[in-house]
């Protein structure tokens, strides 16, 4: 019975994985022939969603603490010389994290599909758009389900491809095709690191399967037998996440990616694909050393802080949301870096829902404002679009961390994690950055809401024509906004730890890195160490054994962190109301007062300019100098060789013509001359020959006259 159930789960997962790709193929090849083929793609996605609900239910009901793995041998290279036994397995891993993630992807993908039916109506490549969404969903499911690094990398690149296709969907626009290229190239930089990391793991452990790798690490096998290289490998893998999750310093592609259709931004660039980086780090969390985690925490804190400051001054509704996405992803990375594994994944899921809602809400606004994206030209939309306003408000409350929302729970957990980390190690800067960013988040989100929905309309003409979205666009908003409420994750709106999500579903994996390479608080205390854990089965994941001080700190951190984050959120919201709603202060005057800071933020910290000046110009300069080298030196050598050869061959030709040919001609002439003489004998007259024969016979007779 149990085995049968397992195979049902595996089959369900495979169905969910491959349904979208069927939709993709059908929709792509019939895009021009069948007008309504997008309905098939939508049908397929809805089917996949239903399957994912079933999978989630079955997994969490029957196999809550068991990981289901199904794999098969893909290639067997046998015994490779100088390397040893080599085979590549493909397979899927169903644990609680992957089924929850799969559910989130399927749900958001389905809602975005439905939303797009109305949002994209009238587009000339309508069917192809849905086909692209299909291939994206397929690849994202692949990332979530895979149990090895090889497939992870393949699907990683596939989501990169679908992201590229969808950012550049309106490729007639120069900015869109540029943004697509930028996203692709910037991602590639991160992927180089990830690929080298995977290869390092592969050369060390001779397998791509992550469980086997982690097991070997826990047995003490390390790359090059050193913890330093384990750190390096972890950081190389993290590079992939930096690129995909748009972390500092590769975050520059995400704001530009907003050139794509807004539902795409919601699905790919807010909820799922950019979260793949975080998801990947949760997968490899067990093999990250303390040093690697510290670097990850630094990157996460920077990525949370810098984009939050940029988002304060942006006027494009989608750009603000894009920067807030980077900032929230930075939170998750920060949470992983400080060891708050469960909260990072929790935030990943809650963020996926409320950020998708925010993006779809902005899509709804943009659609009904006739593609106006500048928030300074909006205003007063609250009455015209009540559903969009309400859902947008709920999601904004969630992202700002206001109680009763999901965002409050997850963000509070992360902040508590940083707080406890500061307590355990003395690095308080992470906590400071986290709390400060929480205030900034609340501020810019409410600035966005107030400028868009409150106050007086700035563009009367567009305002007149604005109206509430149709059902297919409003329904996803409502679903996502409802999922941003605490009740789905925990019954207690102030402490998520007793809720089913964190206490039962998500468990941090056991750390497999050597003890002296961990954070001090991740080392088991002496008392716990003596406790034998032999009886536990290999697949059952154990929690991180935190030191007691850290566990205690986490408990103590909960209340102050919650109060502090509440204070931050409240002050952020209050400030934005003071500035934009009640106009007690003039934001322009403040901007004038701190002009350098304002300009820094408005110009996105000049990242694009710096990259242009350093990397783009550097590359161009390098290519130019290389081209000069090529043109003058290499070509010079080649040309010299050519000239030399030409002169040499001319001389050689002369020699040939005069000496060799002369010799040959002389021989010919000589033979001709001899022939001329001997021709005389050849008269053709028989009698002459007879005379000659007799004559010569006589001579011969005289010559040999021995008698």
Partner 1 sequence: MAQVGLNHFLVISSILFCFGIFGIITRKNAVMVLMGIELILNSANINFIAFARYGSFGFQGQLIALFVIVLAAAEAAVALAIVLNIYKTFSNVNVDEIDNLKE
Interaction between residue 684 and partner 1 (CB under 8 A): yes
Query: For partner 1, which stretch binds (CB under 8 A), given 511-519, 577-585, 597-605, 677-685?
Result: 677-685
* Minimal distance, residue 681 CB to partner 1, in Å: 11
Tokens representing 682 are 């050849």
Query: For partner 1, which stretch binds (CB under 8 A), given 58-66, 277-285, 606-614, 684-692?
Result: 684-692
Going residue by residue from 418 to 437, which x/- string records binding to partner 1, judged by CB under 8 A? --------------------
Q: How far apart are CA 169 and CA 167, in angstroms?
A: 5
How many residues contact partner 1, by CB under 8 A? 9
Q: How far apart are CA 201 and CA 182, in angstroms?
A: 29
Cβ proximity to partner 1, 632 vs 683, nearer residue: 683
* Minimal distance, residue 696 CB to partner 1, in Å: 14
Cβ proximity to partner 1, 503 vs 682, nearer residue: 682
Query: For partner 1, which stretch binds (CB under 8 A), given 53-61, 80-88, 657-665, 686-694?
Result: 686-694
Identify the burial level of 646 via C-beta atoms within 10 angstroms of its C-beta, where 0-12 means exposed, 13-18 middle and 19 or more buried.
exposed
* Minimal distance, residue 702 CB to partner 1, in Å: 17
Contact yes or no for 288/346 (Cβ under 8 A): no
Cβ proximity to partner 1, 174 vs 679, nearer residue: 679
Helices (H) and strands (E) in the chain, counts: 30, 2
Cβ proximity to partner 1, 11 vs 682, nearer residue: 682
Tokens representing 26 are 């059908």
Interaction between residue 687 and partner 1 (CB under 8 A): yes
Interaction between residue 686 and partner 1 (CB under 8 A): yes
Residues 6+ apart with CB under 8 A from 58: 5, 8, 9, 12
Cβ proximity to partner 1, 33 vs 680, nearer residue: 680
Interaction between residue 694 and partner 1 (CB under 8 A): yes
Residues 6+ apart with CB under 8 A from 277: 240, 241, 242, 243, 244, 245, 246, 247, 329, 333
Interaction between residue 672 and partner 1 (CB under 8 A): no
Q: How far apart are CA 12 and CA 30, in angstroms?
A: 27
Q: How far apart are CA 554 and CA 387, in angstroms?
A: 39
Interaction between residue 691 and partner 1 (CB under 8 A): yes
* Minimal distance, residue 654 CB to partner 1, in Å: 40
Three-state secondary structure call for residue 30:
coil
Three-state secondary structure call for residue 682:
coil
Tokens representing 330 are 């930075």
Q: Which of 175, 498, 657, 683 binds partner 1 (CB under 8 A)?
A: 683
Cβ proximity to partner 1, 1 vs 686, nearer residue: 686
Cβ proximity to partner 1, 220 vs 684, nearer residue: 684
Tokens representing 260 are 């794509």
* Minimal distance, residue 677 CB to partner 1, in Å: 16
Query: For partner 1, which stretch binds (CB under 8 A), given 170-178, 207-215, 335-343, 683-691?
Result: 683-691
Contact yes or no for 273/141 (Cβ under 8 A): no
Cβ proximity to partner 1, 226 vs 682, nearer residue: 682
Complete DSSP assignment for 664-691: HHHHHHHHHHHHHHHHTT----HHHHHH
Cβ proximity to partner 1, 638 vs 699, nearer residue: 699
For residue 674, the tally of other CB atoms under 10 A from its CB is: 10
Cβ proximity to partner 1, 526 vs 676, nearer residue: 676
Cβ proximity to partner 1, 532 vs 684, nearer residue: 684
Site for partner 1 in 157-186 (CB under 8 A): none
* Minimal distance, residue 670 CB to partner 1, in Å: 23
Going residue by residue from 624 to 663, which x/- string records binding to partner 1, judged by CB under 8 A? ----------------------------------------
Residue owning tokens 């028989």 = 686
Residue owning tokens 């807010």 = 270
Beta bridge partner(s), residue 84:
80
**How many Å from the N-terminal Cα to the C-terminal Cα in the chain?**
126
Cβ proximity to partner 1, 687 vs 706, nearer residue: 687
Q: Which of 65, 492, 498, 682 binds partner 1 (CB under 8 A)?
A: 682
Contact yes or no for 331/255 (Cβ under 8 A): no
Residues 6+ apart with CB under 8 A from 643: none
Cβ proximity to partner 1, 426 vs 684, nearer residue: 684
Q: Which of 174, 467, 593, 685 binds partner 1 (CB under 8 A)?
A: 685
Site for partner 1 in 479-538 (CB under 8 A): none
Longest dimension (CA), the chain: 153
* Minimal distance, residue 694 CB to partner 1, in Å: 6
Tokens representing 42 are 């939508």
Tokens representing 381 are 């939309």
* Minimal distance, residue 679 CB to partner 1, in Å: 9
Residues in the chain: 707
Q: How far apart are CA 106 and CA 99, in angstroms?
A: 10
Site of interaction with partner 1 (CB under 8 A): 682-687, 690-691, 694
């Amino acid at each position: 019975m149990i085995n049968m159930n397992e195979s049902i789960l595996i089959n369900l997962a495979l169905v969910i994985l491959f349904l979208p790709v069927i939709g993709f193929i059908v929709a792509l090849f019939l895009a021009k022939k069948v007008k309504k083929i997008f309905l098939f793609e939508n049908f397929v996605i809805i089917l996949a969603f239903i399957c994912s609900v079933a999978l989630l239910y079955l997994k969490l009901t029957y196999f809550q603490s068991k990981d289901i793995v199904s794999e098969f041998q893909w290639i067997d290279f046998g015994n490779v010389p100088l390397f040893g036994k080599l085979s590549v397995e493909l397979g899927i891993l169903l644990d609680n994290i992957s089924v929850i993630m799969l559910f989130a992807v399927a749900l958001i993908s389905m809602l975005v599909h439905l939303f797009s039916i109305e949002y994209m109506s009238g587009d000339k490549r309508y069917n192809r758009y849905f086909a692209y969404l299909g291939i994206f969903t397929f690849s994202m499911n692949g990332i979530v389900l895979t149990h090895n690094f090889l497939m992870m990398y393949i699907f990683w690149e596939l989501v990169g491809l679908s992201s590229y296709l969808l950012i550049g969907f309106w490729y007639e626009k120069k900015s869109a095709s540029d943004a697509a290229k930028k996203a692709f190239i910037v991602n590639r930089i991160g992927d180089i690191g990830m690929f080298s990391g995977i290869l390092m793991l592969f050369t060390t452990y001779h397998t791509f399967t992550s469980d086997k790798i982690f097991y070997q690490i826990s047995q003490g096998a390390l790359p090059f037998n050193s913890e330093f290289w384990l750190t390096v490998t972890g950081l190389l893998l993290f590079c992939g996440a930096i690129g995909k999750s748009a972390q500092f310093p590769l975050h520059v592609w995400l704001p530009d990616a907003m050139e794509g259709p807004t539902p795409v931004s919601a699905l790919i660039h807010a909820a799922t694909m950019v979260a793949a980086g975080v998801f990947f780090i949760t997968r490899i969390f067990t093999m990250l050393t303390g040093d690697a985690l510290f670097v990850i925490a630094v990157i996460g804190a920077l990525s949370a802080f810098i984009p939050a400051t940029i988002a304060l001054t942006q006027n494009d509704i989608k750009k603000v949301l894009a920067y807030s996405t980077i900032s929230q992803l930075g939170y998750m990375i920060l949470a992983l870096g400080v060891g708050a594994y469960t909260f990072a994944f929790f935030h990943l899921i809650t963020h996926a829902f409320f950020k998708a809602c925010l993006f779809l809400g902005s899509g709804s606004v943009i659609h009904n404002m006739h593609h106006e994206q500048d928030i300074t030209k909006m205003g007063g939309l609250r009455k015209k679009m009540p559903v969009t306003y309400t859902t947008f408000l709920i999601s904004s409350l969630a992202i700002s961390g206001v109680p009763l929302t999901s965002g409050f729970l997850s963000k509070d957990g992360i902040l508590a994690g940083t707080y406890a980390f500061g307590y355990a190690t003395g690095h308080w800067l992470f906590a400071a950055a986290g709390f400060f960013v929480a205030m900034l988040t609340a501020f810019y989100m409410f600035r966005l809401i107030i400028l868009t929905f409150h106050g007086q309309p700035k563009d009367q003409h567009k305002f007149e024509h604005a109206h509430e979205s149709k059902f297919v666009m409003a329904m996803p908003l409502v679903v996502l906004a409802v999922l941003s409420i605490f009740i789905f994750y925990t019954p207690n709106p102030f402490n998520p730890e007793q809720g089913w999500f964190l206490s039962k579903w998500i468990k941090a994996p056991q750390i497999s890195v050597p003890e002296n390479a961990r954070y001090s608080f991740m080392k088991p205390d002496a008392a716990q160490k003596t406790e034998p854990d032999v009886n536990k089965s290999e697949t059952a994941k154990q929690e991180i054994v935190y030191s007691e001080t850290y566990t205690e700190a986490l408990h103590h951190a909960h209340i102050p962190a919650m109060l502090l984050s509440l204070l931050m959120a409240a002050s952020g919201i209050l400030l934005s109301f003071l500035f934009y709603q009640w106009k007690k202060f003039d934001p322009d005057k403040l901007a004038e007062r701190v002009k350098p800071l304002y300009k820094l933020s408005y110009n996105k910290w000049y990242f694009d300019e710096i990259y242009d000046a350093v990397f783009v110009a550097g590359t161009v300069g390098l290519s130019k100098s290389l081209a000069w080298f090529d043109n003058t030196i290499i070509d010079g050598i080649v040309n010299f060789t050519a000239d030399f050869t030409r002169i040499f061959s001319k001389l050689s030709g002369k020699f040939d013509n005069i000496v060799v040919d002369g010799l040959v001609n002389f021989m010919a002439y000589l033979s001709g001359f001899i022939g001329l003489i001997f021709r005389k004998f050849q008269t053709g007259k028989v009698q002459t020959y007879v005379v000659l024969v007799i004559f010569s016979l006589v001579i011969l007779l005289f010559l040999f006259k021995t008698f």
